[in-house]
Structure 1
Amino acid sequence: MIRLENISKQNGKQIVFIEASAALQRGEKIGLVGPNGAGKTTLFRMITGEELPDEGQVSVDRGVSIGYFSQDVGDMSGKSAVLEVIDGVGPVSELAAAMAELEAAMGDPDCADDMDDLLARYGEVQGRFDELDGYALDGRAREILGGLGFSPEMMDGDVAKLSGGWKMRVALARILLMRPDVMLLDEPSNHLDLESLIWLENFLKGFDGALLMTSHDREFMNRIVGKIVEIDGGSLTSYSGDYEFYRQQRAVAEVQQQAQFERQQAMLAKEIAFIERFKARASHAAQVQSRVKKLEKIDRVEPPKRQQTVRFEFQPAPRSGEDVATLKNIHKSYGARKIYEGLDFQIRRRERWCVMGVNGAGKSTLLKLVAGESKPDQGSVARGPSVRMGYFAQHAMEVLDGDRTVLQFLEDSFPQAGQAPLRALAGCFGFSGDEIEKKCRVLSGGEKARLVMARMLFDPPNFLVLDEPTNHLDIATKQMLIEALSRYEGAMLFVSHDRHFLAALSNRVLELTPDGLHTYGGGYTEYVERTGQEAPGLRS
């Protein structure tokens, strides 16, 4: 359906692709992987025709429809979320908007004299809407938005009032409703909670078209794709299987290529030593010349392209007492909405609690209460006397001084540390080379999150409160964080929608439900086994 043939592409001084080739066949579900900046978004844009390769050809079979979801959702205003989603299907949304206007006019006393004309016009528009299966589209749009976490009020409300994350979901719903022949999804798992993520996973597994997607969520990718295309060093390499199989195959191929490289290097060294030793002797001239020609004809084995991996080591955190945080008889409401009524909860040393609950259950509120960012209406929150807390929340990124560089921000935070360890810290969190001189104002949301986390973990507290710490982190950085936190000996309380992160780090589960608080002694994996669900209210 889609073929990339010997494409080359250069953006400024960066060479993105060099004679790279790949194909997407009918019904295939492919995961596109590669380090940040490797060219994943550029590849999507070339397939849609938004960019052209410098050399080579991108061809799409005649009549193939493509739906492209990107992180740039554009402007959304003047419509409800439902109409914005239906808008992607074409004229149906215009008819729906016309019907809504006519319905409003028919209910307006000032338009009573025009009622016959309004009724006639409404009949025409409604008939055309029905012909185009508009009522079914409305139902499907609502089903998709519901799966992505929208309440009925949000579906019918002004889309302009939604946050950026919710607008992303609207843009994603628009592509899902289209059901094109090919879906190109650039990080569709961003901005989704666990329930929505699992719903999307099931939707895409049932999608019968072709799919090419990127995702920083390895579990999400594992369950959907049957093939991986890797971008690395300007080339495209295909691997059959899911993401885990790709990692294993890549590791095996790397070992084999390294062995081939070393064998060839040993042979070359031996041949070169012979040439150097006997090149001045007339008696060996023929042998030397023969070996020189042989070396010129050899296809050189390249060393494997090693993906840069970083490792972050925690400094030992000071030991806390056994009681880290205690919440007693907590009551908390927002207006008429009651979040907690008499909640009791305790966190002890070395416990790692992941907090589960549907949207609105109070997960972030609980973390804010524990962190002291919010006060209970009634009850008490107490932390142990030797507890030193680190709190990561999305709003923490707003405190960055836009005029300071990444390095200056870290130097301001740790004036005694010296540049070498701070540069190493920045490198672990994705700021290498000139990136450490970036001003904070130009950092993306993900880069800001990494920088705030780097500061928090350099001088580690003995109690970490983390609200969605993996948002925007790529797979490699997530893995580095998981490995670092797995060696961390303090207590943790966290919310995450990343199932790999949940399974790797939790040893306790706190589930917030309408009928109260439930605790589970094991981690997330045990929670899934015991409840039969990966998220509250969803059966696996």
Structure 2
Amino acid sequence: MTVLQVADLSFGYGADKLFQGITFSLEHGQRAALVAPNGAGKSTLLRLVARELTPDTGSVVIRKGVRVAYFRQSHELQAEGTVLDAFLSGFSEVLDLRHALTAAQHAAASGSEADLDRLSDLTDRYHIAGGDDLERRVEIIAAHLGFTPADMDRPVASLSGGERGRLQLGVVLAIEPDLLLLDEPTNHLDIETITWLEKHLAGLAGALLCVSHDRAFLDAVCPNTMELGQRSFRSYPLKYSDYAVAREEDLARERELAERQEAFVAKTEDFIRRNIAGQKTKQAQSRRKMLDKLETIDRPEDVWATAEKVRFRFAPAPRSGDIVLDARGLGASRGGRALFSGVDLLVRRGDRIGVVGPNGTGKSTLLKLLAGAGAPEDVGDVRRGTNLCQGYFDQHLGSLDPQRTAVEEIRSVRADMNVDATRQYLSRFRFYGDDALRKVQGFSGGERSRLALAKLLLEPRNLLFLDEPTNHLDIPAAEILEEALAGFEGTVLLVSHDRRFLEQVTTRIVAVREGRVDVYPGGFRDYRDNLEKLAAEAAAREAEGREAARGP
């Protein structure tokens, strides 16, 4: 059953078309990834499907009766009510009954027969409406997204940006829609939560259209991949990794066909020029008519070509000592809660260490301690090796001034570079033309990340601290950064939830969890295998608990 039909869709701003001629459909149960570089219009296409925007041409048809849920990057939530109210917001009847039931419970304390009868009536109605089952489902989703039972009574207005994002994701999942639209759902989720989300979405009964830069997530969730271009739209019944191979083969074949036709046309036109007024005039005229009827094969659009031009190159740096950092007894607390204690870590030259763990466990705090930027109340000692040239990438991009242009940001580090040299340098990071003269406050998340990395790479570094460096990068930029770090001759310590990035870059993993810090010398795969083992043990205990509850 088709739940979504998009036909000949185009959209742009003024004369500039983001995309045109987009046609595709989604069947019930079909899960598809929508991929393209940053700025290609993926989020805009989702908004068109959700009918938040009106297309210039074409149509979006959603089957009558289909429930649609849309997770936006912007995490737009009404700051009213509790977390549980937000989770139940897609079920207005149940939510209204629940509020009435709560009021009735308070009123029944009077002991009056009328109040007790009303409480009994509302309790029955709430149960018949499925409120109890819905609350249990919501509690399971909430727990996997990091919300405790106590959090369910918190006002939405008290949540942080990351918590709002996880709540918004939980809200759309709780609805169990027939058509689910997800725009970067894994941003700011930890690895364990992403793994749960993959399994949850794999069991989705409805259709899914997902935008994400997380390659491992796309491979696990979406067996279909759609590529959005300005004048092309490719659809493959393949997961992302297989699509990436197949599209290169298709592009090579299509380029060859276009080149063959161009060579044929050039040869034919040369014959026409030489013979139009000679003895072979009729042949020349015949060939002219043939060319006029020939259907031109355009060179294929390579949507990733510009994105792949970003270049992360490290300036030559002096060699550091063999022992880079020797950390002893590190510990930190925040908000009266101990994050970790007694952490010992020896970092040698050439190490590429990934710091992982659930959100809120202190990954960024540990990175700052190792970088010498911890809080005054933190404990422990970090002995630094010789000849270190350190650089730090902050996930919040605090090194950027919103009021400066990209050129001014670069020249704040290298005042010796003139404007022309600065613009040429910025072109390596996909800032072309007037982009270099725009203020940072108008940049997208991806543009800010590329600019912060451009600043970081201006000076020689042999020790890098990177906190979520791929968070806003599109897939080509993340892959190019991977290659650069894998060939980096210095030392790297990084925090990331991007599993493919961790697999390609890191040599060791430091896992922070429930006050413990464990080191996995086998790298990310060693850590992943341990996670899978723990998950299997937890599932077995849960199954045993359910069996015991049933009794003999």
- Classify 1:446/1:81 alpha carbon distance in 2 versus 1 (closer, same or farther; 3 Å): farther
- Unpaired runs of 5+ residues, structure 1, are none
How far does residue 265 in structure 1 lie from its aligned partner after superposition?
A: 1.6
* Alpha-carbon RMSD: 2.5
In structure 2, the residue matched to 1:295 is: 291
In structure 2, the residue matched to 1:403 is: 403
Give me the TM-score of the superposition, normalised by structure 2: 0.90
In structure 1, the residue matched to 2:153 is: 156
In structure 1, the residue matched to 2:393 is: 392
Give 3-state SS (helix, strand or coil) of 1:88's partner: coil
How far does residue 531 in structure 1 lie from its aligned partner after superposition?
A: 6.1
- Write the letter of the residue equivalent to 1:206: G
Distance 2:53 2:424 in 1: 36
Q: Confirm or deny that 1:285 pairs with 2:281.
A: yes
Write the deviation string for residues 257-278 of structure 1: whole angstroms up to 9, x where unpaired.
1111221121112112212222
How far does residue 530 in structure 1 lie from its aligned partner after superposition?
A: 6.1
Residues 34 and 227 in structure 2, CA contact (< 8 A), matched pair in contact too: yes
How far does residue 79 in structure 1 lie from its aligned partner after superposition?
A: 1.7
How far does residue 241 in structure 1 lie from its aligned partner after superposition?
A: 0.8
In structure 1, the residue matched to 2:225 is: 228
Q: Confirm or deny that 1:523 pairs with 2:523.
A: yes
- Classify 1:122/1:227 alpha carbon distance in 2 versus 1 (closer, same or farther; 3 Å): same
In structure 2, the residue matched to 1:197 is: 194
Give 3-state SS (helix, strand or coil) of 1:212's partner: strand
Residues 358 and 536 in structure 1, CA contact (< 8 A), matched pair in contact too: no
Give 3-state SS (helix, strand or coil) of 2:25's partner: strand
Distance 2:366 2:108 in 1: 48
In structure 2, the residue matched to 1:130 is: 127
Residues 357 and 535 in structure 1, CA contact (< 8 A), matched pair in contact too: no
Distance 2:532 2:316 in 1: 37
How far does residue 318 in structure 1 lie from its aligned partner after superposition?
A: 2.1
In structure 2, the residue matched to 1:52 is: 54
Give 3-state SS (helix, strand or coil) of 2:66's partner: coil
Residues 71 and 186 in structure 1, CA contact (< 8 A), matched pair in contact too: yes
59-68 vs 492-501, which moves further: 59-68
- Write the letter of the residue equivalent to 1:63: G
How far does residue 84 in structure 1 lie from its aligned partner after superposition?
A: 0.5
- 1:463-478 aligned at under 5 Å gives the runs 463-478=463-478
Write the deviation string for residues 330-381 of structure 1: whole angstroms up to 9, x where unpaired.
2333354223332211111000111122334322221111122214643212
98-107 vs 50-59, which moves further: 98-107
- Write the letter of the residue equivalent to 2:379: Q
- Write the letter of the residue equivalent to 1:450: R
- Classify 1:47/1:449 alpha carbon distance in 2 versus 1 (closer, same or farther; 3 Å): same
In structure 2, the residue matched to 1:358 is: 358
- 1:27-426 aligned at under 5 Å gives the runs 27-103=29-105, 118-281=115-278, 283-306=279-302, 307=304, 308=306, 309-310=308-309, 311-334=311-334, 336-375=336-375, 377-395=378-396, 397-419=397-419, 422-426=422-426
524-533 vs 126-135, which moves further: 524-533
213-222 vs 289-298, which moves further: 289-298
Residues 275 and 292 in structure 1, CA contact (< 8 A), matched pair in contact too: yes
- Classify 1:335/1:45 alpha carbon distance in 2 versus 1 (closer, same or farther; 3 Å): closer
Residues 354 and 496 in structure 2, CA contact (< 8 A), matched pair in contact too: yes
**Paired residue for 2:9, among 4, 7, 10?**
7
81-90 vs 245-254, which moves further: 81-90
Distance 2:296 2:251 in 1: 16
- Classify 1:296/1:390 alpha carbon distance in 2 versus 1 (closer, same or farther; 3 Å): same
Residues 36 and 227 in structure 2, CA contact (< 8 A), matched pair in contact too: yes
Residues 34 and 209 in structure 2, CA contact (< 8 A), matched pair in contact too: yes
Give 3-state SS (helix, strand or coil) of 1:149's partner: coil
- Classify 1:155/1:392 alpha carbon distance in 2 versus 1 (closer, same or farther; 3 Å): farther
Residues 330 and 380 in structure 1, CA contact (< 8 A), matched pair in contact too: yes
Write the deviation string for residues 215-240 of structure 1: whole angstroms up to 9, x where unpaired.
11011001111111111123322111
How far does residue 490 in structure 1 lie from its aligned partner after superposition?
A: 1.0
- Classify 1:428/1:90 alpha carbon distance in 2 versus 1 (closer, same or farther; 3 Å): farther
- Classify 1:204/1:531 alpha carbon distance in 2 versus 1 (closer, same or farther; 3 Å): closer
Distance 1:288 1:534 in 2: 76
Write the deviation string for residues 30-57 of structure 1: whole angstroms up to 9, x where unpaired.
1111222322222222222222322222
Distance 1:358 1:382 in 2: 28
Residues 194 and 535 in structure 1, CA contact (< 8 A), matched pair in contact too: no
Residues 5 and 22 in structure 1, CA contact (< 8 A), matched pair in contact too: yes
Distance 1:56 1:342 in 2: 62
- Unpaired runs of 5+ residues, structure 2, are 541-552
Percent of counterpart pairs with the same letter?
37
Residues 340 and 515 in structure 2, CA contact (< 8 A), matched pair in contact too: no
How far does residue 292 in structure 1 lie from its aligned partner after superposition?
A: 1.2
Give 3-state SS (helix, strand or coil) of 1:2's partner: strand
- Write the letter of the residue equivalent to 2:366: L
Distance 1:539 1:122 in 2: 38
